[in-house]
């Protein structure tokens, strides 16, 4: 190089290989437009170019933006950056040739020669230095010196190109190619990361009651083959849950009702991301059951005769929360099958039984109950019930021959007979006498019967036979054993 008039020390610069970096931001979903930035590093400064190519899954390439000179990226260049010094720039000075000029003779200084000045004593002076001074008093100056050969450090400037790319729906990726004057190239690609593959989904329906533990939901995701970063975000009723960014999630502070829960799994790679949404899980939280309110209670007691059909016992109740159920009890024992709001007690046998019903409100696993009033049911036999026809207290009708209509009044008649036979005295032939219907009223007949009974009690008639007759028939009563008294 020296033979050609070049100075390797100043005109030979190391070559840094080209590299390309491609970064995109946004959701790499089909139809979305993302912003991609290609950055060039290395190569010959000022000679880099960039192009963008869309690569289909089958390898087909489509140029999206052809070769374009790389330029300082506005969002990355430093405002204080100075223009880069040309590697072959010559030192300043009239005698200095340009970096490309060939030497013209011995008097021509080399490219690294610098002009000098002589001191007053004839010795060469030191290389001039740029100085700055500040007066500090009494004619003294404080000087700061900068060597003439010092090189100021330049702020790094990023060069490249940017593009807005609409993500196709065929799985294509975006590639950035870079080159310089040497025609050496480098590439970098971005594309939608693989959507996360959910192995075990959320889903399912769960029902609990207020106060019970809320279940823990989880999702299992396959390891991404492209080494994308996996993140999670859980949602409750369509809103992102706070601090719910793990693989598992247990919601809190949920009111009674049905809630929808799902998770969005995201894979991020090179600024792009792809998402997969899990299936929905539904959580139903039931309010606690409330104690039922009895609006119609049982009577205090009732009385029946064996064989009667008792009136049904009925209770009425309401509840604000839950479903009502019933269980009837007899003397403290649950009655099998008696699970409705009404119950008909039994009257098949005499006795006393206490009945009540327990009303329960159920909502999920929560229950609340209330007991009705107690009702006492008494069942008596027909013989011991004075209010029942035919019972002893009601004056059951006497037994005997009865050929007449039972609705006709009885009329007494006393007939005499001798001791040796029935009805032989007084012209009687014995037996019951039939009297014609007199047309007496029922009231008169009853009074007559009462009078006759009194007379019979006072009379002591031996071997007398007393008969009662009705219109249209005769009733014979047993013969009294009475003595005649005078």
Domain assignment of residue 393, yes or no: no
In this prediction, residue 13 has a pLDDT band, given cuts at 50, 70 and 90, of: confident
Greater confidence (162 vs 463) lies with 162
CATH assignment of the domain containing 360:
2.60.40.10
Average pLDDT taken over every residue of the chain:
72
Span 141-169, average pLDDT: 64
Q: What is the pLDDT of residue 386?
A: 62
Cα gap 157→152, rounded to integer Å = 15
Q: Answer yes or no: is pLDDT of 354 > 90.
A: yes
Q: Which residue has the higher pLDDT, 336 or 12?
A: 336
Same domain, 317 and 252: no
Q: What span, in angstroms and rounded, lies between the C-alpha atoms of 308 and 346?
A: 9
As to burial, measured by CB atoms within 10 angstroms (0-12 exposed, 13-18 middle, 19+ buried), residue 106 is exposed
Q: What per-residue confidence (pLDDT) applies to 18?
A: 84
Reduced DSSP (H G I as helix, E B as strand, rest coil) percent helix, strand, coil of the chain, to 5 = 5, 40, 55
Q: Read off the pLDDT band of 328 (50, 70, 90).
A: very high
Q: Are 181 and 204 members of one domain?
A: no
* Residue 105 buriedness (CB in 10 A; 0-12 / 13-18 / 19+): exposed
Whether residue 354 is found in the same domain as residue 422: no
| 316 pLDDT higher than 90 | yes
Which neighbouring-strand residues pair with 206? 283
Residues 363, 269 within the same domain: no
402: Cβ contacts below 8 Å, ≥ 6 apart: 473, 475
Residues in the chain: 486
Assigned domain for 143 exists: no
At residue 431, the pLDDT reads 42
Domain stop point among 254, 286, 318 = 286
Tell me what pLDDT residue 3 has. 73
CATH assignment at residue 21: 2.60.40.1930
Predicted confidence (pLDDT) per residue in 424-457, tens digit: 334 444 443 444 444 455 555 566 666 665 665 5
H/E stretch holding 322 reads none
* 367 shares its domain with 303: yes
On whether both 405 and 260 belong to a single domain, the answer is: no
**Mean of pLDDT values over 292-298:** 95
Q: Is the dihedral of CA 409, 412, 417, 421 positive or negative?
A: positive
Asked, for residue 26, whether it belongs to a domain, the answer is yes
Same domain, 260 and 238: yes
Question: At which of 232, 264, 286 does a domain end?
Answer: 286
Distance in angstroms (rounded) separating the CA atoms of residues 277 and 262: 7
> 310-334: string of b/e by CB count within 10 Å (b at 16+)?
eeebebebebebbeebbbbbbeeee
Q: Which of 260, 286, 312 is the last residue of a domain?
A: 286
Which structure tokens are listed for 10? Answer: 């100043």
* pLDDT score, position 358: 97
Considering its fold, how many domains does the chain have in total? 4
Specify whether 170 is located in the same domain as 21: yes
Considering the domain boundaries, does residue 257 fall inside one? yes
**Has residue 21 got a pLDDT over 50?**
yes
Burial level of 201, CB count in 10 A (0-12/13-18/19+)?
Answer: middle
Residues 238, 160, single domain; the answer is no
Is there a contact between 48 and 18 (Cβ–Cβ < 8 Å)?
yes
SS3 of 52-116: EEEECCCCCEEEEEEEEECEECCCCCCCCCCCCCCCCCCCCCCCCCCCCCCCCCCCCCCCCCCCC
Q: Cα(328)–Cα(333) distance, rounded to whole angstroms?
A: 8
Residues 63, 187, single domain; the answer is yes
Per-residue buried b or exposed e for 345-357, using 16+ beta carbons within 10 Å of the residue's own CB: bebeebeeeebbb
Query: What per-residue confidence (pLDDT) applies to 272?
Result: 79
One domain for residues 361 and 306: yes
Max mean pLDDT range (83-97, 165-179, 288-302): 288-302
| Residue 59, domain member (yes or no) | yes
Q: Is residue 386 part of a domain?
A: no
Q: How far is CA 365 from each of CA 207, 208, 287, rounded to the nearest angstrom?
A: 9, 7, 10
- What are the φ and ψ backbone dihedral angles of 371, each rounded to 5 degrees? -105, 140
d(CA 486, CA 484): 7
Residue 45 has pLDDT above 80, yes or no: yes
More confident residue, 167 or 4: 167
pLDDT, residue 414, reads: 42
The answer as to whether 97 is a domain residue is yes
Question: Residue 358: beta bridge partners?
Answer: 327, 371
pLDDT at 388: 54
Q: Label residue 274 by pLDDT band (50, 70, 90).
A: confident
Q: Give the best-scoring range by mean pLDDT among 98-107, 267-276, 383-392.
A: 267-276
CA distances (Å), origin 293, targets 166, 210, 268, 481: 66, 21, 59, 71
* Greater model confidence, 23 or 399: 23
In a domain? residue 470: yes
pLDDT band of residue 421 (cuts 50, 70, 90) is very low
Domain that holds residue 65: 1-103+154-192
β pairing state of 272-277 and 19-27: parallel
pLDDT at residue number 444: 57
Say if residues 208 and 238 touch (Cβ distance below 8 Å): no
Contact 205, 281 (CB under 8 A): yes
299 and 280 both lie in a single domain:
no
Q: What is the pLDDT of residues 168-207, one digit of tens each?
A: 888 788 899 999 888 778 887 877 778 899 998 888 899 9
Neighbouring residues of 10: CB distance < 8 A, sequence distance ≥ 6: 87, 88, 99, 111, 112
Q: For tokens 């030191």, what's the residue?
A: 126
pLDDT for 156 beyond 70: no
Can you give the pLDDT at residue 257? 93
Most confident range, picked from 391-400, 439-448, 475-484: 439-448
405 has a pLDDT exceeding 70: no
């Amino acid at each position: 190089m020296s033979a050609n008039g070049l100075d390797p020390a100043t005109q030979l610069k190391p070559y840094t290989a080209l590299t390309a970096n491609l970064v995109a931001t946004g959701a790499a979903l089909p139809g979305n437009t993302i912003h991609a930035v290609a950055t060039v590093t290395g190569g010959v400064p000022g000679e880099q170019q960039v192009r963008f190519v869309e690569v289909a899954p089958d390898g087909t390439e489509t140029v999206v933006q052809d070769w374009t000179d790389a330029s300082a990226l506005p969002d990355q260049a430093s405002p204080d950056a100075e223009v880069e010094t040309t590697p072959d720039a010559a030192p300043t000075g009239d005698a200095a040739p340009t970096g490309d000029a060939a030497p013209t003779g011995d008097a021509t200084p080399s490219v690294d020669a610098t002009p000098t000045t002589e001191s007053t004593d004839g010795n060469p002076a030191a290389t001039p230095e740029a100085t700055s001074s500040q007066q500090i008093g009494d004619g003294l100056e404080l000087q700061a010196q900068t060597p003439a050969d010092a090189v100021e450090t330049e702020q790094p400037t990023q060069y490249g190109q940017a593009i807005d790319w609409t993500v196709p729906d065929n799985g294509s990726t975006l590639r950035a190619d870079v080159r310089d004057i040497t025609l050496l190239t480098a590439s970098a690609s971005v594309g939608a990361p693989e959507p996360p593959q959910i192995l075990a989904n959320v889903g399912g329906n769960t029902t609990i009651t207020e106060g019970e533990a809320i279940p823990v939901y989880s999702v299992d995701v396959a390891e991404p083959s492209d080494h994308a970063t996996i993140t999670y975000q859980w949602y409750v009723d369509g809103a992102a849950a706070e601090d719910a960014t793990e693989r598992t999630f247990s919601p809190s502070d949920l009111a009674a009702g049905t809630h929808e829960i799902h998770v969005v799994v995201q894979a991020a790679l090179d600024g792009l991301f792809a998402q997969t949404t899990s299936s929905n899980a539904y959580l139903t939280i039931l309010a606690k059951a409330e104690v039922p309110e009895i609006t119609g209670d049982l009577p205090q007691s009732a009385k029946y005769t064996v064989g009667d059909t008792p009136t049904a016992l009925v209770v009425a109740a309401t509840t604000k929360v839950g479903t009502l159920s019933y269980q009837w009890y007899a003397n403290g024992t649950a009655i099998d099958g008696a699970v409705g709001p009404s119950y008909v007690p039994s009257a098949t046998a005499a006795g006393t039984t206490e009945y009540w019903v327990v009303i329960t409100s159920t909502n999920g696993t929560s229950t609340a109950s209330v007991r009705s009033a107690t009702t006492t049911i008494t069942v008596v036999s027909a013989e011991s019930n004075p209010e029942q026809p035919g019972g002893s207290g009601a004056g059951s009708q006497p037994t005997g021959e009865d050929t007449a209509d039972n609705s006709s009044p009885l009329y007494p008649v006393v007939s005499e007979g001798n001791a040796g036979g029935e009805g032989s005295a007084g012209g009687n032939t014995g037996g019951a006498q039939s009297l014609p219907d007199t047309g007496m009223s029922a009231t008169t007949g009853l009074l007559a019967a009462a009078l006759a009974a009194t007379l019979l009690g006072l009379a002591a008639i031996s071997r007398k036979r007393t008969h009662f007759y009705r219109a249209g028939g005769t009733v014979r009563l047993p013969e009294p054993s009475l003595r005649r008294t005078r």
